[in-house]
């Protein structure tokens, strides 16, 4: 492949194009392992590729102890790891022999069995074009050493920054310098991070305070290990990368302190930019696609609070427009990840028209229609996806979730029974099935699914959440309260600053009649998140019990404002003054 005339005429590049599908803001890639199709997270922020223990066992992959010095760090300290070497790994028809994976880590979900990291991506230049649902491994010849490798750029400005630490194994991240409020920061370019994030120590250097006006709590985040971190959305004056300056925007801040670098530029940043990482040149090239740079949807809210609107998307050349169903579907998924659901629906509809036998396209369109509150049409698409592939567990669970929200309990349960037969004992689908059973008021089945997953995931990032879910199931229905307390205590031991976990334990103590402990947990929960509805409600009930009618009624009224059904929910489960 020849580059455009804007670069040296002798410069040639060989390109391996890798189709990606955005699920939310997670880029997934389909590979073949021992001739079976599997999914991986395409993760530029991982220094090494990882495969789950379950997948390593399923595919009977031989493992050996990792070389000295190669280890994983978590909340419990350093852990020795094993390595699996895969001899028959294929991406879009190209074989990559002897690819190594760390075995273990937290489950990714989304049907992915692992992630592809820098021991794979670092073997070539990489172009990230997530807005079109594609990445490219690029192999330039020797004459490209001085070429501008942003070969797609025409009128749009090209940003160039130095690539730092790009060739060292132990520092094999893609790192560049950015400036937050004028303060120099080291940023990892990380497609595996759903959203960009600034770490707390760096935020303080930039003069940011979590107590300042306009700061919004953004819930919890997890990573490879068991650690669970709190995050906030914080106004900033500026973020500059090369010649690009984003002014008066907001950024997510995390209290994580596990990395030496200052921030992650996540998949949201990649969706708004086309990025080329030139290993040999030690440069990063970027052009801006348009639209908001950061995805700042607060946890559980489902709405963007990004203050920057950005410019409209740049016009595509006819040559770059989608030509087949796969390209339309990938671009549609990318639009959906940026919450541009109207354009996502248009592209995914075209994909369904061009290839009506592909159930995955109907599944993707169904998810978009759920986001657009088109429930009837979404159910029809889920049903078509399952007609085409009855064993699609993602479609089964997604349709069950929608039916549960529509109060179609029998239909939801039928899909959960089918999903149960498709799910592995230890797979993350167990947690999704459990959460839907909770919505259907079936705590025993929810607990049974949580049990299966928790038993084999002692170091997983999702462990605390699963323990809390099992604790809530027992507390909400008033069963096995000592077991519930044990689970809540274990979850809080992992994350002592979770408003949700304290809220759940508060209900356990409420059920046990330990009013002082319940009050303390509810107050601690509300200090972390003043909008925790059940903590407001439980605290109000405790106040009424103690004769503080005015304060109790005020707290309950605040809970009703956040959760209008809370009186009925509480009465149905015997949670009374």
Alpha-helical segments (H) within 117-199: 118-121
Helices 499-512, 463-477: crossing angle, 10 deg rounding: 30
Q: Please check whether residue 570 is in contact with residue 537, taking contact to mean a CB–CB distance below 8 angstroms.
A: yes
**Sorting pLDDT into bands at 50, 70 and 90, what band is 67?**
low
In which band, very low, low, confident or very high, does the pLDDT at 512 lie, cut at 50, 70 and 90?
very high
**What number of other Cβ atoms are within 10 A of residue 485's Cβ?**
20
Which residues are within 8 A (CB) of 47 and not within 5 positions of it... i.e. 6 or more apart? 117, 118, 119, 169, 170, 171, 172, 173
Q: What is the pLDDT of residue 382?
A: 98
pLDDT for residue 542: 97
pLDDT digits (tens, 9 = 90+) for 520-529: 999 999 998 8
DSSP 403-446: HHHTT-HHHHHHHHHHHHHHS-SSSTHHHHHHHHHHHTT-HHHH
Give the pLDDT confidence score for residue 71 in this predicted structure: 56
> What pLDDT, in 10s, does the model give residues 247-268?
999 999 988 766 778 999 999 9
Written as six digits, the tokens of 364 are 């993707």
What pLDDT, on a 0 to 100 scale, did the predictor assign at position 332?
A: 96
Of the pLDDT bands very low, low, confident and very high (cuts 50, 70, 90), residue 397 is: very high
pLDDT at 69: 53
CA–CA dist 323, 341 (Å, integer): 21
With contact defined as beta carbons under 8 Å apart, do 443 and 476 qualify?
yes
Query: What is the predicted pLDDT for the residue at 425?
Result: 67
d(CA 577, CA 510): 10
Mean pLDDT for 215-219 is: 79
What is d(CA 308, CA 95) in angstroms, rounded to the nearest whole number? Answer: 42
Q: d(Cα 424, Cα 204) in Å, to the nearest integer?
A: 44
| Calpha distance 495→476 (Å, rounded) | 21
Whole-number Å distance between alpha carbons of 262 and 178: 10
| pLDDT, tens digit, 9 for 90 and up, residues 286-344 | 999 887 788 655 443 332 333 333 334 444 455 568 889 999 999 999 999 989 999 99
DSSP run (H or E) holding 127: strand 125-129
- Give the Å distances, CA to CA, from 215 to 208, 243, 298, 305: 10, 27, 11, 11
pLDDT of residue 297: 56
Q: What is the per-residue pLDDT for 182?
A: 96
Among 329, 327, 193, 215, which residue's Cα sits nearest to residue 268?
A: 193
CA-CA distance, 165 to 177, in Å (whole number)?
12
* Cα gap 293→25, rounded to integer Å: 13
Rounded mean pLDDT, 124-143: 94
Residue 222 has pLDDT above 80, yes or no: no
Task: Please tell me the predicted confidence (pLDDT) of residue 308.
Answer: 36
The tens digit of pLDDT for each residue in 77-92 reads 344 578 998 888 998 8
pLDDT single digits (tens) 477-508: 999 999 999 999 999 999 898 999 999 999 99
H-helix or E-strand containing 113? strand 112-116
Distance (Å, whole) CA 270 – CA 45: 12
Region of 255 (left: φ > 0; alpha: ψ -120 to 50; beta: rest) is alpha
State the pTM of this model. Answer: 0.83
* pLDDT at position 458: 81
3-state secondary structure at position 527: helix
Q: pLDDT confidence of 390, banded at 50, 70, 90? A: very high
The sign of the CA dihedral 399, 405, 411, 417 is positive
- Using an 8 Å Cβ cutoff, are 503 and 522 in contact? yes
What is the pLDDT at residue 294? 80
Q: What is the pLDDT of residue 577?
A: 82
Please state the rounded mean pLDDT for residues 275-291: 92
Give the integer Cα–Cα distance in Å for 259 and 188.
Answer: 10
pLDDT, greater one: 317 or 52: 52
Q: At what angle do helices 359-371 and 325-337 cross, to 10 degrees?
A: 30
Return the residue matching tokens 């348009």. Answer: 290
> Tell me, what's the pLDDT at 123?
86
Q: 237 pLDDT exceeds 90?
A: yes
**Residues 413-452 pLDDT 10s:** 999 999 999 987 667 899 999 999 999 999 999 999 999 9
Query: Does the structure show a pLDDT above 80 at 228?
Result: no
* pLDDT beyond 70 at 358: yes
Q: What is the mean pLDDT of the chain?
A: 87
pLDDT tier at 95, thresholds 50, 70, 90: confident
Please write the tens of the pLDDT for every residue from 163-195: 986 444 445 789 999 999 999 999 999 999 988
């Amino acid at each position: 492949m020849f580059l455009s005339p804007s670069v040296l005429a002798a410069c040639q590049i060989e390109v391996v194009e890798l189709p990606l599908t955005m699920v939310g803001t997670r880029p997934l890639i389909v590979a073949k392992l021992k001739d079976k199709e599997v999914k991986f997270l395409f993760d530029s922020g991982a220094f090494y590729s990882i495969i789950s223990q379950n997948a390593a066992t399923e595919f009977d992959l031989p493992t050996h102890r990792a070389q000295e010095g190669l280890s994983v760090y978590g909340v419990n300290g350093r852990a020795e790891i094993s390595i699996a070497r895969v001899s028959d790994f294929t991406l879009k028809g190209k074989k990559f022999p002897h690819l190594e994976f760390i075995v273990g880590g937290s489950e990714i979900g989304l049907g992915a069995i692992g992630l592809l990291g820098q021991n794979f991506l670092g073997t070539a230049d990489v172009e990230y074009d997530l807005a079109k649902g594609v990445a490219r491994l690029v192999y330039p010849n020797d004459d490209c050493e001085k070429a501008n490798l942003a070969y797609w750029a025409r009128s749009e400005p090209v940003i160039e920054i130095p690539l730092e630490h790009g060739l060292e194994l132990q520092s094999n991240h893609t790192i560049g310098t950015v400036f937050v409020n004028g303060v120099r920061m080291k940023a990892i370019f990380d497609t595996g991070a759903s959203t960009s994030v600034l770490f707390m120590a760096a935020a303080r250097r930039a003069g940011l305070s979590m107590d300042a006006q306009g700061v919004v709590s953004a819930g919890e985040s997890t990573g490879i290990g068991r650690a669970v971190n709190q995050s906030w959305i914080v106004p900033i004056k500026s973020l500059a990368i090369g010649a690009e300056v984003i002014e008066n925007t907001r950024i997510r801040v995390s209290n994580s302190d596990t990395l030496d670098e200052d921030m992650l530029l996540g998949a949201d940043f990649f969706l708004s930019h086309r990025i080329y990482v030139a290993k040999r040149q030690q440069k990063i090239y970027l052009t801006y696609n348009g639209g908001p740079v950061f995805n700042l949807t607060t946890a559980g809210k489902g709405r963007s609070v990004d203050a920057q609107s950005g410019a409209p998307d740049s016009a595509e050349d006819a040559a770059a427009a989608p030509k087949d169903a796969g390209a339309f579907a990938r671009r549609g998924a990318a639009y959906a990840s940026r919450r541009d659901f109207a354009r996502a629906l248009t592209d995914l509809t075209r994909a369904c028209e061009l290839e009506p036998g592909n159930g995955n396209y109907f599944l993707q369109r169904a998810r978009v229609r759920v986001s657009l509150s088109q429930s009837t049409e979404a159910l029809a698409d889920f049903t078509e996806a399952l007609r085409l592939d009855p064993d699609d567990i993602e479609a089964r669970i997604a349709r069950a979730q929608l039916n549960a929200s529509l109060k179609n309990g029998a239909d939801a349960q039928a899909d959960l029974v089918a999903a149960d037969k498709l799910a592995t004992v230890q797979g993350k689908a167990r947690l999704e099935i459990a959460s839907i059973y909770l919505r259907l008021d079936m705590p025993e089945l929810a607990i049974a699914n949580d049990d299966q997953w928790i038993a084999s995931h002692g170091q997983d990032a999702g462990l605390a959440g699963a323990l809390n879910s099992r604790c809530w199931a027992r507390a909400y229905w008033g069963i096995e309260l000592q077991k519930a307390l044990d689970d809540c205590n274990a979850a809080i031991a992992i994350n002592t600053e979770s408003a949700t976990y304290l809220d759940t334990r508060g209900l356990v103590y409420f059920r046990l009649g330990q009013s002082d402990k319940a009050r303390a947990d509810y107050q601690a929960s509300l200090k972390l998140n003043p909008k925790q509805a059940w903590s407001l409600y439980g605290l109000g009930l405790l106040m009424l019990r103690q004769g503080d009618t005015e304060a109790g009624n005020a707290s309950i009224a605040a809970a009703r404002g956040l959760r209008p059904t809370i009186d009925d929910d509480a009465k149905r489960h015997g949670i009374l003054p």
